[in-house]
Chain A
Amino acid sequence: MYRIEVEGTGVEFECGPERSLLAGMEAQAKKAIAVGCRGGGCGFCKIRILEGDYDTKKMSVKFVSHSERLDGYALSCRVFPRSDMRVVALEDVEGNKIIDTGIIKL
């Protein structure tokens, strides 16, 4: 189990390597990232990864472009942790934009 911290929300949860970050969050009934399709297609669960190792499954390029991926943006329903992670959600659970606190400013 890895520890996942959603920066700026005070929310932390545990997630195993076989589960996506979003599924891990939902399994512990935490609310920090917006839940949409859970399939990498809708962009609702977009995050930026600040720290940690991970693997991804294919994500819709409509919501995460190639260059964004290199900057650590990802759809959390397609991100599988390989270490403890620190991420920031780009929208809160109500769909309001959150200002990016990452190393590279938006």
Chain B
Amino acid sequence: MKKGVMRAGHVQIRVLDMDEAVSHYKQRMGLLETHREGDRVFFKGWTECEKYSVILREADSAGMDFMGFKVDSDARLDELHADLIEHGLEVDELPAGDLPDCGRRMSFLAPTGHRFELYAEKEVTGRHGVGHHNPEAWPEDLVGMKATRFDHCLFHGEDLDGVYDIFVNVLGFWLTEQAMAGEERVAQFFTCSMKEHEIAFIKAEGNTGAFHHASFHLETWQDVLHAADIISMHDISLDIGPTRHGLTHGATIYFFDPSGNRNETFCGGDYFFPDHPVVTWDADKLGKAVFYHSRELNERFLTVTT
């Protein structure tokens, strides 16, 4: 947190059919529905303190509308607003309440075609079912995969150097991990916390604004297997897993929501402190970097986006 950006706070995902999507995110992933307004439904994982982290919007296409990062104070918003403008970006200031129960937001379009935003305030409703005063270990009313929190997103795009500049040099993120094809960085993972990444980008020539996945945290490998069972029991579209990544070393499973947006649930993996060296994977080890066990790249995982 070099410049006050704390974490990935929310993501708005487009879905083709709201009823199917709500049933997937609520019954299967185990997120909690916390709000509804207009054409949008709001959710959070049970350990999250803010009122929501996932927003679904019914639309004519799948994909991601925007991803928001929480900063540590309102004053910081103005500082970063100025820094983003100085960097040459057009920044829209959206008033408090434009997103329900959320303060003002600074929104900008990154050169990869993805919209990101910063905010400093959102209603804090606390941990679901256990609260913050002599809390029990976990709530007993969870269903499905019991995802604990929205964790990170991965996007595909062309101008990786452009978004590197914004996240590292303007917003104060650290590069934690990268994959290199010779001199060219083809995958980059950024954090602003102790998490291995809050956001990542993969090079995809000519793919603009593409959404690869939104990821949700689970506690254990047993929970990843349990998620895999839920996927089979309910005939959810499986992408790949359960397996482990070389990149980040997380144990993971990927699947698709009913509109074709990719979801990940994962546990474990590396952590980060600012004195950690950047981890680098070479192009000829990409199979292992992506799928640590099969060591084989998979066409669908590498190219399907919404």
B258 near A94 with CB under 8 A, answer no
B299 near A39 with CB under 8 A, answer no
Contacts A58-B16, A58-B17, A94-B299; is A39 near B304 (CB within 8 Å)?
no
Please indicate the chain A residues that have their CB under 8 angstroms from the CB of B261 in the complex.
Answer: 37, 39, 41
**Is there a chain A Cβ closer than 8 Å to B133's Cβ?**
no
Q: What is the predominant secondary structure among interface residues of chain A facing chain B?
A: loop
Report how many residues on chain B are interfacial, defined by Cβ distance under 8 Å.
20
**Is there a chain B Cβ closer than 8 Å to A61's Cβ?**
yes
Contacts A60-B60, A60-B260; is A37 near B306 (CB within 8 Å)?
yes
- Smallest beta-carbon distance B96→chain A, Å: 32
Please indicate the chain A residues that have their CB under 8 angstroms from the CB of B237 in the complex.
Answer: 37-39
Please indicate the chain A residues that have their CB under 8 angstroms from the CB of B306 in the complex.
Answer: 37, 41-42, 60, 62
Bound together, the chains give a CA A44 to CA B299 distance in angstroms of 11
Bound together, the chains give a CA A23 to CA B259 distance in angstroms of 15
Bound together, the chains give a CA A97 to CA B120 distance in angstroms of 47
Q: Mark A41-60, 1 if CB is under 8 A from B, else 0.
A: 11010000000000001111
**Is there a chain A Cβ closer than 8 Å to B256's Cβ?**
yes
B60 near A41 with CB under 8 A, answer no
Q: How many A-B residue pairs have CB under 8 A?
A: 69
Q: Mark B10-50, 1 if CB is under 8 A from A, else 0.
A: 00000011000000000000000000000000000000000
Please indicate the chain A residues that have their CB under 8 angstroms from the CB of B60 in the complex.
Answer: 58, 60-61
Contacts A58-B17, A60-B60, A60-B306; is A40 near B299 (CB within 8 Å)?
no
**Is there a chain A Cβ closer than 8 Å to B276's Cβ?**
no
A41 near B62 with CB under 8 A, answer yes
Please indicate the chain B residues that have their CB under 8 angstroms from the CB of A58 in the complex.
Answer: 16-17, 60
**Is there a chain B Cβ closer than 8 Å to A36's Cβ?**
yes
B304 near A36 with CB under 8 A, answer yes
**Is there a chain A Cβ closer than 8 Å to B257's Cβ?**
yes
A60 contact from B62, B262, B304, Cβ within 8 A: B62
**Chain A interface extent, by class:** 10 to 19
B16 near A62 with CB under 8 A, answer no
Q: Mark B54-87, 1 if CB is under 8 A from A, else 0.
A: 0000001111000000000000000000000000
- Smallest beta-carbon distance A12→chain B, Å: 24
Please indicate the chain A residues that have their CB under 8 angstroms from the CB of B234 in the complex.
Answer: none
Please indicate the chain A residues that have their CB under 8 angstroms from the CB of B262 in the complex.
Answer: 37
Bound together, the chains give a CA A59 to CA B262 distance in angstroms of 16
Please indicate the chain B residues that have their CB under 8 angstroms from the CB of A63 in the complex.
Answer: 61
Contacts A60-B306, A62-B63; is A37 near B16 (CB within 8 Å)?
no
Please indicate the chain A residues that have their CB under 8 angstroms from the CB of B303 in the complex.
Answer: 44, 95
Q: What is the predominant secondary structure among interface residues of chain B facing chain A?
A: loop
Nearest opposing residue in chain A for B261, CB measure: A41
B62 contact from A35, A39, A57, A95, Cβ within 8 A: A39
B61 contact from A36, A57, A62, A95, Cβ within 8 A: A62
Bound together, the chains give a CA A62 to CA B260 distance in angstroms of 12
* Most interface-central of A37, A59, A63 (chain B CB within 10 A): A37
B61 near A42 with CB under 8 A, answer no
Nearest opposing residue in chain B for A59, CB measure: B16
Q: Interface of A with B (CB < 8 Å)?
A: 35-42, 44, 57-63, 94-95
Question: Can you list 21 A-B contacts (CB < 8 A)?
Answer: A35-B300, A37-B237, A37-B304, A37-B306, A38-B237, A39-B62, A39-B256, A40-B16, A40-B62, A41-B16, A41-B261, A41-B306, A42-B62, A42-B260, A58-B17, A60-B306, A61-B60, A62-B61, A62-B306, A63-B61, A94-B299
Given contacts A37-B256, A62-B63, A95-B299, 11 further A-B contacts (CB under 8 A): A36-B300, A36-B304, A37-B262, A38-B237, A39-B258, A42-B305, A42-B306, A58-B17, A60-B63, A61-B60, A62-B62
Q: Lowest 6 A-B CB distances belong to which pairs?
A: A41-B260, A41-B62, A37-B260, A39-B260, A38-B237, A60-B61
